[in-house]
Amino acid sequence: MEDNDKYESIPPDQKTAQETPDASSPEQQERETFKQELEHLKKEYDGLYDRLLRKQAEFENYKKRIDREKSEFMQFASSELMKELLNAMDSFDLALRNAAADGAGGEDRLRGFELIYKQLQDTLARFGLKPIEAKGKKFDPNYHQAVSTQASDKMEENTVIEEMRKGYTLNGRLLRPAMVSVAVKEEKVG
């Protein structure tokens, strides 16, 4: 009976290594490889998706920047034209002053000049040109260019006494500073 004891049945939960699938079996290896590939693909997908989101955000920012630059370009593209037209306005301004000094004989001519001048100003204003108010204002080097000083006890020091040439802004940016004469105290004039 001892020989029979050798061949006793082994309970199913205690099978030998030969009877159970080995960790290194081809099926198990294939599962592990598949899991690793799946993990790798998921990481790659997450990375690509993250890059896609970043590129979309960059593209949206790029479009906004281009729109902003295009808008600014459109606003200020006419600045050279405006500068050239300012010379004509200066001539009109001078002609108006001289016509006013001529007296009553030139009233019709003066009125014609005034109408043309007003029309030109209105046209330029529609495109964003705005004159800088200078006379009687405090001197501001950002908007005024002092070309002379005048002694004055009637005006506060550093106040614009006279405007020789008008200054202008275009859509809020300085296009040309006003050429002005500035008041100083009597003892500072030399």
Name the CA radius of gyration of the chain, rounded. Answer: 43
Tens digits of residue pLDDT in 47-77: 999 999 999 999 999 999 999 998 888 777 7
Axis crossing angle, helix 107-126 with helix 79-102, rounded to the nearest 10: 160
Please check the confidence at residue 19 and state whether its pLDDT lies above 60: no
Q: What global pTM score does this model have?
A: 0.54
- Residues 147 and 135: their CA atoms lie apart, in Å, by 14
3-state secondary structure of 148: strand
**What pLDDT is recorded for position 144?**
95
**What pLDDT is recorded for position 189?**
47
Q: Which fold has domain 129-190?
A: Nucleotide Exchange Factor Grpe; Chain A, domain 2 (2.30.22)
Please check the confidence at residue 119 and state whether its pLDDT lies above 90: no
Domains in the chain: boundaries: 129-190
Tens digits of residue pLDDT in 130-154: 999 999 999 999 999 999 999 888 8
What are the start-end ranges of the E strands in the chain? 129-132, 144-151, 160-165, 167-170, 173-176, 178-184
**What pLDDT is recorded for position 185?**
85
- Residues 100 and 107: their CA atoms lie apart, in Å, by 8
